[in-house]
Every structure is written in C-alpha cells, then in structure tokens.
Amino acid sequence: MSHPADNLSSPLPTWLADFRQQLGGGDASQIKIIETHISWVLLAECYAYKIKKPIKLPFLDYSTAARRHFCCAEELRLNRRFAPELYIDLVPTNTAADEWAVRMHRFDEATRLDHVCTRGELTTTQLSNLAQVIVNFHGRATVATPDTAFGKPAQILATTQDNFVELQQLLPAARAHLENLQRWTSDEFSRRSQLMAARQKTGHIRECHGDLHLGNLVLIEGKVTPFDCIEFNENFRWIDIVSEIAFTYVDLLDHQRPDLAGWLLNEWLSRSGDFQGVSLLPFYAVYRALVRAKVAALRNDSVEAAGYLTMAKQLIAPPEPSLSITFGLSGSGKTTISSAIILADNSARTLRLRSDIERKRLFGLTANATSHSDIDSGIYTAEASSRTYAHLAKISAQLLANGWSVIVDAAFLKRQQRDIFHQLADDSHVPFKINACSASADDAMVAALQQRITQRYGDASEATLAILERQLTQIEPLDQNEMPFVISR
C-alpha cells in the first residue's frame, strides 16, 4: 500500500494505509506522508496527523497501543502550553480505536525557522521575539520539586554518560574524539555540580520543551511559535532552563550563524537575568551537540554526526575572553555599537550587560517598565548609579571567570567608573577596551543627540533631554592614559 514517491522505509501497516485512503477521499496519493524514525505524519489539505510507530528504543517506549495512546495525549497536553492554535485533538485511526493520531492545523513548511535560516531570512527581531517567548514559557512552566530526581547532578551526569555509551557504539571510528569530550564533560561536571544542585533546589528545573531546535519553531502570523516538544521521555523534558536555550544556541551554530546564536543568548539573558545559569551553558551546549550527533548517527548520516562532533570540540576550546566598555552620552550609539560587537563574534561568546536594564532589575523593574524617576531621584540618584556600576562589575567578574567575553553598555562618563572596570580586566588577566562613541559637546552633535533621544520608543533607556543636559556638565573626557585602550566608533 505504500507509494514509491513516499520513500518509506517499509510498507505502511494496513490500518494506517486505510486511514490514509480515508483522508484522501479514496485516493491515498492525495495525502503526503512524512516518515521519521519514530513517527508517521500524514498531511491533508488543512490538517496534519501525527501517528506513533510501534517501536521501543533505549530512550522511548511506543511498544503497546496503550503507551502510544498515552504519549499522544501527552503530546497534545504539552504542546498546547505554547501552541494551542496548532494542536487540535486526538482522532482514532482505525475502527478498533486502539491507534490514535494527534491532529494539528497545517502550516507552511517554509515558515519553519530552519528553512527561514537556510534562506538567510532569520532576523535579530525574530530571535528577540523567540527569547521573550522562551522566558515567558519558562516563567509559567511547572517547577520540579526538590524531592524528584529531575535536575539532580547524579541524574544529569547519568544522562550525559549514557549518551557517550551510545555514541561509542554508533561511531567507533570517533573513539578518540569521544573520549576527549567525555573527559571534558566529567571535569566540567565536577566544577559545576554544586551549582547544578543549587539550581535544582531553587526552581530552575522545569517541565520544558526538551527539543527546541530550529525545526521545531515556526512563524505563525509573524510570531515565533514552538511545537513538537518531547513527550516520550520525562528526563529529556524536565531540565534546567539553561539546557533548553543551549539547544537553540547549538542549532544556530550548526546553521553557521554564530552571530544569531550570540544574539539569541544575549536577548534571553537580558530578559531572564540568569547570569548564574549561563556558566552552565557550555556544558549543556556540548551535551546538546552530542545528542544531535547521536541522532544523526542513528539515521546513518555520518557527515552530519561528524559535524556535530567538530562543533563539540570547538565548544570546549573557546577563545580567550576580553572586557569592553562603552563611553558616551545618551543617544550617542552605545547600544548600536554593543549590538555590532555581539554580532561580530564568530564564537558566539560575547555577553552584553546594559546598565539601563540592570539598573531596573536591581530595583525590581522589567526592562521596558517606566520608573517615573526624575533627575537625581528614584533609580537615578548618585547612590543608585554607584550600586548599578558595582552590580555590573560583579556580574562582569563572574562572566569573565567562566570564560565569557563581556561588553558593558553604559555611559561611563566618570573616570572612576572606567577605572573600576580597567582594574577588573587587569585582575581577570583579560584585554580591556573602551568603545568610545562621540562625546563631543559641539552644537551640531548635541542637536543630533537630542533628536535621537526624542525619537526613541520601546527601549529600556529612560534618557531625556534634561538628562542629556546634565550629562554634558558632568562628563569627564578620556585622558591620555586611557587612549591606548580606546576604539573610536
């Protein structure tokens, strides 16, 4: 009953061939069928029907009709958390009603983010939207209780080690590379296990998506929408939220877009504020790359598997970090410059700290909230500014210690503020740079800055013309001792 054009690995079961015939109004050829190693997907004009294969793998059990029905119900429940507009219901596929399909609304395959990215059409705006979608979803996702095994260091280590066992069997020719990666994983786990244990106790292990690569993200009416989460294995789904973002980060790297990988990571970090958790990202990114290598090996795609092994090796040997700051008046282009620095990093290892966002976070405000603070009041007093710069320095030190390059997007109008960060770079044994935006006080420049400030909207900055006037009276220009570290923009 199968059709040669379908490229099926084996003929369809009779009940599934009959269901396909029924959907096609008597003509099965009207219904396209997609086969994966665990499912069949039937594509009708308006709907897609996802049906689970009767198989059992080390990480998945679809071996009985009851298990398949349960997993269909779980797929519906879990995916409705973020894509209720896509997931409709369950429908029986045979008269005995013991085989079920998850019915979904069809969408244009071209709007899947892997295809969008391949066409070179994936934008920073879309990834900023995705970062917010992920943060919102994680914010309402169910939290694993401390008494569960989910997210405990022993469970995390076991999952990674099991993956290596399978990879050694699937890719015997890569044994030496895998042994090196396994040593790094064990060493990194030893360094991070206390943090992993702490995060399990503080609510960072949640019922996540579990498979958040670009092929499971789609544009629906311009909004990035996740779908097709992991329903068949709780251990793959109940994970640290950093492990979730690591998957998308790795997939963007695989698509040769480190600029977008770095952008997504920064947008997620600015919204989540999870600076502690980002130290775990290399561990989880390597794990995610190796999971993709395993999946490729299971499909007998040795080229793709080798590509992911190469990526994993690059992830464990990042470039040396550096510390950069901006210098300039409000409206002088500091955020534009820091954005360009993120996008220019081919290793996707530069993290940005924006004073406008971190100042508000210190005072319990979201990035785009209005503080209703006047000059020298509220969150803009001298004391509040000192707290903000001290906070930025503390986070920068933490990120540098974990191997990340840092760009601090702040005015840095005072020499003392700049000196603190220069000393931090020296103490951290990393290069220091000052990205100087125009700080000129001539009439033409001031007029240009005034125009930019009045035209701003939807940004974390609360700079006003009055604040600009105050800055012009307080700015301490860069001196000759600082000039060797200056990059003029």
CATH top-level class of 4-106: alpha beta
pTM for the whole structure: 0.91
- Coil, strand or helix at 289: helix
**Of 14-18, 124-128, 239-243, 278-282, the least confident:** 14-18
What confidence tier does 3 reach under pLDDT thresholds 50, 70, 90?
Answer: very low
**Of 150-154, 257-261, 471-475, the least confident:** 471-475
Can you list the pairs that 302-308 forms with residues at least 24 positions away whose Cβ atoms lie under 8 Å? 302/171, 305/170, 305/171, 305/174, 306/174, 307/254, 308/254
Fold of 323-488: Rossmann fold (3.40.50)
- 463 pLDDT higher than 60: no
Tracing tokens 């405000």 back to the chain, one arrives at: 365
Query: Who wins on pLDDT, 147 or 113?
Result: 113
**Which pLDDT belongs to residue 2?**
38
> What is the arithmetic mean of pLDDT over 184-212?
97
> What is the arithmetic mean of pLDDT over 353-357?
94
**Percentage of the chain exceeding pLDDT 70:** 90
Give alpha helix (H) positions in 202-280: 234-237, 241-254, 258-272
- 1 pLDDT higher than 50: no
- 75 neighbors 90 (Cβ within 8 angstroms): no
Who's near 242: CB < 8 A, 6+ residues apart? 204, 274, 277, 278, 280, 281, 284
- Read off the pLDDT of residues 421-449 as tens digits, 9 standing for 90 and up: 999 999 999 999 999 986 555 555 555 55
**Which pLDDT belongs to residue 489?**
59
**Which pLDDT belongs to residue 96?**
75
Element holding 360 (H helix, E strand)? helix 355-362
Give alpha helix (H) positions in 85-170: 113-118, 124-140, 153-170
Instruction: For residues 321 and 406, give the distance between their C-alpha atoms in angstroms, rounded to a whole number.
Output: 8
> What is the arithmetic mean of pLDDT over 191-196?
98
CATH top-level class of 110-315: alpha beta
**Of 53-62, 130-139, 258-267, 344-353, the least confident:** 53-62
**Of 321-325, 340-344, 360-364, the least confident:** 360-364
Query: Who wins on pLDDT, 36 or 191?
Result: 191
**Which pLDDT belongs to residue 299?**
87
DSSP 324: E
Q: What is the mean pLDDT of the chain?
A: 91
What confidence tier does 4 reach under pLDDT thresholds 50, 70, 90?
Answer: very low
**Which pLDDT belongs to residue 437?**
86
- 346 neighbors 488 (Cβ within 8 angstroms): no
Q: Boundaries of CATH 3.90.1200.10 in the chain?
A: 110-315
What confidence tier does 455 reach under pLDDT thresholds 50, 70, 90?
Answer: low
Instruction: For residues 247 and 288, give the distance between their C-alpha atoms in angstroms, rounded to a whole number.
Output: 6
What confidence tier does 330 reach under pLDDT thresholds 50, 70, 90?
Answer: confident
Query: Who wins on pLDDT, 29 or 186?
Result: 186
- 206 pLDDT higher than 70: yes
| Strand ranges for 350-463 from DSSP E | 350-354, 405-409, 432-436
> What is the arithmetic mean of pLDDT over 476-486?
94
- 330 neighbors 467 (Cβ within 8 angstroms): yes
Calculate the CA 176 to chain-centre distance.
30
Tracing tokens 């919204």 back to the chain, one arrives at: 271
Instruction: For residues 24 and 16, give the distance between their C-alpha atoms in angstroms, rounded to a whole number.
Output: 12
What confidence tier does 450 reach under pLDDT thresholds 50, 70, 90?
Answer: low
Q: CA end-to-end span of the chain, whole Å?
A: 66
> What is the arithmetic mean of pLDDT over 118-139?
98
Element holding 225 (H helix, E strand)? strand 223-226
Who's near 243: CB < 8 A, 6+ residues apart? 208, 280, 284, 287, 288
Instruction: For residues 135 and 126, give the distance between their C-alpha atoms in angstroms, rounded to a whole number.
Output: 14
Instruction: For residues 399 and 408, give the distance between their C-alpha atoms in angstroms, rounded to a whole number.
Output: 12
Who's near 448: CB < 8 A, 6+ residues apart? 331
Tracing tokens 């896509």 back to the chain, one arrives at: 86
Who's near 84: CB < 8 A, 6+ residues apart? none
